[in-house]
Amino acid sequence: MRLHQSVDCVRRVTFRGRPPSLPFVTNETARIGLSGLILAGLFLAACDREGAGAGCKQDAECKGGRRCIDDRCQSNLEAKPLTAATTVPSVAATARAVESARAPAFDAAMVDAGKVLGSGAWLPKFAIRRRDGQGAVPFLQAFESCRVNQQALCTEAQWTRACEANANVGALETWTATAAGQEGFVVRGGGGCGARRVASGSAAAPRDAGVCCERAVAIDSATSNPAFLISTSQRMRDYERAHNSHDASALRPQLAARVQFLGKEWEREALLREGERFFRQYPDQWLLFEQCMTTTGSEPDAQGGVFVYWKADCRVLMQRSGKVALVNQRYFRDGASGEVARIEESSALLRPYSEP
CB 303 within 8 A of CB 268: no
Most confident of 43-57, 123-137, 340-354: 340-354
Confidence bin at 160 (pLDDT 50/70/90): very high
Position 343 scores a pLDDT of 83
Confidence bin at 126 (pLDDT 50/70/90): very high
* Rounded distance between C-alpha atoms, residue 58 and residue 48, angstroms: 19
**Of 89-93, 208-212, 224-228, 278-282, minimum mean pLDDT range:** 89-93
CA distances from 165 to 38, 109, 138, 168, 169 (A): 30, 11, 27, 9, 9
pLDDT of 96 over the 90 cut: no
Confidence bin at 172 (pLDDT 50/70/90): confident
* Rounded distance between C-alpha atoms, residue 114 and residue 142, angstroms: 26
CB 259 within 8 A of CB 341: yes
Residues 6+ apart with CB under 8 A from 52: 8, 9, 66, 72, 73, 74, 75, 76
Q: Whole-model pTM?
A: 0.74
Tell me the mean pLDDT in the region 87-114. 60
**Of 51-55, 95-99, 186-190, 260-264, minimum mean pLDDT range:** 95-99
Q: What is the dihedral of CA 64, 67, 71, 76, to 10 degrees?
A: -80
* Rounded distance between C-alpha atoms, residue 102 and residue 311, angstroms: 44
Position 45 scores a pLDDT of 30
Burial of residue 167, with CB atoms counted within 10 A of its CB: 0-12 exposed, 13-18 middle, 19 or more buried: middle
CB 210 within 8 A of CB 143: yes
